[in-house]
Amino acid sequence: MSGYALITGGTSGIGLELARNFAKDGINLCLVARSEENLKEVSRKLTTQFDVEVLAVPMDLSKEDAPQRLHDFLKEKSIQVDYLINNAGVGSFGRLKDTSMEVEENLVKLNILALLRLTKLFVPEMVNRRYGYVLNISSMAAFLPGPIMANYYASKAYVLSLSEALHEELRGTGVNVSVLCPGPVKTGFQAAAGIKKQESYKALMMEAKKIADIGYVAMWKGKAVVFPGLLSQMLPKMYALIPRGILRKAVLSMQKE
Protein backbone atom coordinates (compact mmCIF):
# COMPACT_ATOMS: atom_id res chain seq x y z
CA MET A 1 0.00 0.00 0.00
CA SER A 2 1.34 3.39 -0.99
CA GLY A 3 1.52 5.72 1.98
CA TYR A 4 -0.14 9.13 2.15
CA ALA A 5 1.16 12.42 3.48
CA LEU A 6 -1.24 13.77 6.09
CA ILE A 7 -0.86 17.55 6.22
CA THR A 8 -2.79 19.68 8.69
CA GLY A 9 -3.38 23.27 7.68
CA GLY A 10 -2.54 22.25 4.13
CA THR A 11 -4.48 24.89 2.18
CA SER A 12 -2.17 27.89 2.60
CA GLY A 13 1.30 29.03 3.57
CA ILE A 14 3.95 26.47 4.52
CA GLY A 15 1.40 23.63 4.62
CA LEU A 16 0.31 24.20 1.03
CA GLU A 17 3.89 24.46 -0.20
CA LEU A 18 4.77 21.20 1.56
CA ALA A 19 1.73 19.58 -0.06
CA ARG A 20 3.02 20.67 -3.46
CA ASN A 21 6.42 19.13 -2.72
CA PHE A 22 4.92 15.78 -1.74
CA ALA A 23 2.59 15.82 -4.75
CA LYS A 24 5.46 16.67 -7.09
CA ASP A 25 7.19 13.51 -5.84
CA GLY A 26 4.09 11.43 -6.59
CA ILE A 27 2.98 11.01 -2.97
CA ASN A 28 -0.77 11.03 -2.38
CA LEU A 29 -2.17 13.57 0.06
CA CYS A 30 -4.66 13.88 2.86
CA LEU A 31 -5.24 17.56 3.58
CA VAL A 32 -7.00 18.69 6.73
CA ALA A 33 -8.28 22.22 7.31
CA ARG A 34 -11.37 23.97 8.61
CA SER A 35 -12.57 25.54 5.36
CA GLU A 36 -14.26 22.99 3.11
CA GLU A 37 -14.36 25.46 0.23
CA ASN A 38 -10.62 26.12 0.36
CA LEU A 39 -9.89 22.41 0.69
CA LYS A 40 -11.90 21.57 -2.41
CA GLU A 41 -10.18 24.27 -4.47
CA VAL A 42 -6.67 23.32 -3.36
CA SER A 43 -7.37 19.61 -3.81
CA ARG A 44 -8.65 20.17 -7.33
CA LYS A 45 -5.58 22.16 -8.32
CA LEU A 46 -3.11 19.68 -6.85
CA THR A 47 -4.85 16.70 -8.45
CA THR A 48 -4.87 18.38 -11.84
CA GLN A 49 -1.29 19.63 -11.68
CA PHE A 50 0.43 16.56 -10.23
CA ASP A 51 -1.88 13.62 -10.97
CA VAL A 52 -2.00 12.39 -7.37
CA GLU A 53 -4.88 11.45 -5.13
CA VAL A 54 -5.87 14.22 -2.73
CA LEU A 55 -8.28 13.44 0.07
CA ALA A 56 -9.78 16.61 1.51
CA VAL A 57 -11.00 16.39 5.10
CA PRO A 58 -12.72 19.50 6.47
CA MET A 59 -12.20 19.36 10.22
CA ASP A 60 -11.49 21.65 13.16
CA LEU A 61 -8.61 19.91 14.90
CA SER A 62 -9.01 22.05 18.01
CA LYS A 63 -12.07 19.93 18.85
CA GLU A 64 -11.09 17.33 21.42
CA ASP A 65 -12.29 14.28 19.49
CA ALA A 66 -11.16 15.49 16.05
CA PRO A 67 -7.77 13.69 15.87
CA GLN A 68 -9.37 10.38 16.83
CA ARG A 69 -12.20 10.89 14.32
CA LEU A 70 -9.63 11.66 11.62
CA HIS A 71 -7.61 8.56 12.47
CA ASP A 72 -10.72 6.35 12.44
CA PHE A 73 -11.91 7.87 9.15
CA LEU A 74 -8.60 7.15 7.41
CA LYS A 75 -8.47 3.65 8.84
CA GLU A 76 -11.96 2.93 7.46
CA LYS A 77 -10.73 4.05 4.03
CA SER A 78 -7.59 1.87 4.37
CA ILE A 79 -5.37 4.92 4.00
CA GLN A 80 -1.90 4.43 5.41
CA VAL A 81 -0.19 7.56 6.69
CA ASP A 82 3.58 7.37 6.22
CA TYR A 83 4.20 11.12 6.47
CA LEU A 84 2.66 13.22 9.22
CA ILE A 85 3.01 16.97 8.82
CA ASN A 86 1.76 18.85 11.88
CA ASN A 87 1.47 22.33 10.41
CA ALA A 88 -1.90 23.65 11.63
CA GLY A 89 -1.60 26.38 14.19
CA VAL A 90 -3.04 29.67 15.36
CA GLY A 91 -1.67 32.70 17.14
CA SER A 92 -3.02 35.20 19.62
CA PHE A 93 -1.96 38.78 20.18
CA GLY A 94 -2.26 40.93 23.28
CA ARG A 95 -1.33 40.90 26.92
CA LEU A 96 -2.42 37.61 28.46
CA LYS A 97 -4.46 39.37 31.16
CA ASP A 98 -6.56 40.99 28.43
CA THR A 99 -7.00 38.25 25.83
CA SER A 100 -9.99 35.93 25.64
CA MET A 101 -9.77 32.68 27.59
CA GLU A 102 -11.54 30.93 24.72
CA VAL A 103 -8.96 32.17 22.22
CA GLU A 104 -6.04 31.07 24.41
CA GLU A 105 -7.55 27.67 25.16
CA ASN A 106 -8.25 27.04 21.47
CA LEU A 107 -4.63 27.92 20.72
CA VAL A 108 -3.42 25.27 23.16
CA LYS A 109 -5.91 22.74 21.81
CA LEU A 110 -4.71 23.19 18.22
CA ASN A 111 -1.02 24.03 18.58
CA ILE A 112 -0.29 21.47 21.31
CA LEU A 113 -3.03 18.94 22.02
CA ALA A 114 -3.99 18.20 18.41
CA LEU A 115 -0.32 17.73 17.49
CA LEU A 116 0.20 15.44 20.48
CA ARG A 117 -2.89 13.37 19.74
CA LEU A 118 -2.08 12.95 16.05
CA THR A 119 1.44 11.92 16.96
CA LYS A 120 0.19 9.36 19.47
CA LEU A 121 -2.28 7.95 16.95
CA PHE A 122 -0.11 7.68 13.84
CA VAL A 123 3.49 7.25 15.02
CA PRO A 124 3.02 3.83 16.70
CA GLU A 125 1.66 2.52 13.40
CA MET A 126 4.71 3.90 11.58
CA VAL A 127 6.98 2.20 14.11
CA ASN A 128 5.17 -1.12 13.56
CA ARG A 129 5.86 -0.76 9.82
CA ARG A 130 9.38 0.51 10.54
CA TYR A 131 8.88 3.42 8.19
CA GLY A 132 7.65 6.96 8.57
CA TYR A 133 8.45 10.65 8.70
CA VAL A 134 7.05 13.32 11.00
CA LEU A 135 7.63 17.02 10.32
CA ASN A 136 6.38 19.40 13.00
CA ILE A 137 6.23 23.12 12.34
CA SER A 138 7.55 25.19 15.21
CA SER A 139 9.07 28.66 15.01
CA MET A 140 12.01 30.80 16.06
CA ALA A 141 9.55 31.90 18.74
CA ALA A 142 10.33 28.59 20.47
CA PHE A 143 13.68 30.00 21.58
CA LEU A 144 12.30 33.17 23.14
CA PRO A 145 9.96 34.49 25.80
CA GLY A 146 7.14 36.22 23.94
CA PRO A 147 5.48 39.14 25.73
CA ILE A 148 2.25 40.20 23.95
CA MET A 149 2.19 36.73 22.33
CA ALA A 150 3.03 34.74 25.46
CA ASN A 151 0.83 31.70 24.84
CA TYR A 152 1.83 31.33 21.18
CA TYR A 153 5.56 31.50 21.93
CA ALA A 154 5.11 28.95 24.72
CA SER A 155 3.21 26.59 22.42
CA LYS A 156 6.04 26.64 19.88
CA ALA A 157 8.57 25.89 22.62
CA TYR A 158 6.50 22.80 23.43
CA VAL A 159 6.55 21.68 19.78
CA LEU A 160 10.32 22.10 19.58
CA SER A 161 11.03 20.25 22.82
CA LEU A 162 8.66 17.38 22.06
CA SER A 163 10.01 16.95 18.55
CA GLU A 164 13.64 16.84 19.63
CA ALA A 165 12.85 14.28 22.32
CA LEU A 166 10.91 12.08 19.90
CA HIS A 167 13.73 12.28 17.37
CA GLU A 168 15.96 10.54 19.91
CA GLU A 169 13.31 8.15 21.24
CA LEU A 170 12.58 6.86 17.75
CA ARG A 171 16.17 6.52 16.59
CA GLY A 172 16.64 3.10 15.00
CA THR A 173 12.91 2.44 14.55
CA GLY A 174 12.70 3.51 10.92
CA VAL A 175 10.71 6.60 11.90
CA ASN A 176 12.26 10.06 11.84
CA VAL A 177 10.95 13.21 13.53
CA SER A 178 12.04 16.64 12.35
CA VAL A 179 10.99 20.09 13.50
CA LEU A 180 11.05 23.15 11.27
CA CYS A 181 11.80 26.46 13.00
CA PRO A 182 11.26 29.35 10.60
CA GLY A 183 11.52 32.99 11.43
CA PRO A 184 8.89 35.45 10.19
CA VAL A 185 6.91 34.05 7.24
CA LYS A 186 5.05 35.90 4.49
CA THR A 187 1.61 34.36 4.99
CA GLY A 188 -1.81 35.44 6.25
CA PHE A 189 -0.99 34.10 9.70
CA GLN A 190 -0.19 37.48 11.24
CA ALA A 191 -3.38 39.08 9.98
CA ALA A 192 -5.52 36.16 11.14
CA ALA A 193 -4.09 36.40 14.65
CA GLY A 194 -4.36 40.18 14.78
CA ILE A 195 -0.58 40.43 15.08
CA LYS A 196 1.09 43.80 14.60
CA LYS A 197 4.82 44.11 14.05
CA GLN A 198 7.34 46.87 13.54
CA GLU A 199 8.33 47.46 9.90
CA SER A 200 11.88 46.26 10.62
CA TYR A 201 10.44 42.86 11.63
CA LYS A 202 8.40 42.60 8.43
CA ALA A 203 11.56 43.14 6.38
CA LEU A 204 12.95 39.86 7.75
CA MET A 205 10.06 37.73 6.46
CA MET A 206 10.81 34.75 4.19
CA GLU A 207 8.58 33.29 1.50
CA ALA A 208 6.59 30.24 2.58
CA LYS A 209 7.79 28.28 -0.46
CA LYS A 210 11.45 28.73 0.40
CA ILE A 211 10.87 27.66 3.99
CA ALA A 212 8.84 24.63 2.90
CA ASP A 213 11.46 23.57 0.34
CA ILE A 214 14.24 23.69 2.94
CA GLY A 215 12.12 21.81 5.48
CA TYR A 216 11.12 19.16 2.97
CA VAL A 217 14.70 18.35 1.95
CA ALA A 218 15.86 18.32 5.58
CA MET A 219 13.05 15.95 6.55
CA TRP A 220 14.23 13.38 4.00
CA LYS A 221 17.77 13.76 5.32
CA GLY A 222 16.57 12.95 8.83
CA LYS A 223 17.60 16.23 10.43
CA ALA A 224 16.24 16.83 13.92
CA VAL A 225 15.97 20.64 13.95
CA VAL A 226 15.73 22.63 10.74
CA PHE A 227 16.56 26.33 10.54
CA PRO A 228 15.56 27.73 7.13
CA GLY A 229 17.79 30.56 6.04
CA LEU A 230 21.01 32.03 7.36
CA LEU A 231 19.22 34.31 9.82
CA SER A 232 17.34 31.42 11.41
CA GLN A 233 20.60 29.50 11.77
CA MET A 234 22.33 32.39 13.49
CA LEU A 235 19.60 33.63 15.82
CA PRO A 236 19.48 30.72 18.34
CA LYS A 237 23.23 31.06 18.88
CA MET A 238 22.84 34.79 19.40
CA TYR A 239 19.93 34.31 21.80
CA ALA A 240 22.07 32.01 23.95
CA LEU A 241 24.56 34.82 24.47
CA ILE A 242 22.03 37.49 25.41
CA PRO A 243 20.62 37.76 28.97
CA ARG A 244 16.99 36.66 29.13
CA GLY A 245 15.91 40.00 30.54
CA ILE A 246 17.22 41.79 27.47
CA LEU A 247 15.57 39.23 25.16
CA ARG A 248 12.18 39.76 26.81
CA LYS A 249 12.43 43.52 26.33
CA ALA A 250 13.63 43.11 22.73
CA VAL A 251 10.64 40.96 21.80
CA LEU A 252 8.27 43.38 23.50
CA SER A 253 9.75 46.28 21.53
CA MET A 254 8.98 44.50 18.22
CA GLN A 255 5.26 44.28 18.99
CA LYS A 256 2.85 47.09 18.21
CA GLU A 257 -0.04 47.12 20.68
Helices (H) and strands (E) in the chain, counts: 11, 9
Alpha helix ranges (H) inside 114-173:
115-129, 150-169
Q: Is 152 a catalytic residue?
A: yes
CB contact burial 240-254 (16+ within 10 A = b; e otherwise): eeeeeeebeeebeeb
Angle, helix 101-108 to helix 150-169, in steps of 10 degrees: 10
Please tell me which residue in 4, 152, 153, 216 is annotated as part of the active site: 152
Q: What is d(CA 84, CA 236) in angstroms, rounded to the nearest whole number?
A: 26
Q: Is the Cα dihedral 197, 112, 70, 173 positive or negative?
A: positive
Residues catalogued as catalytic: 152
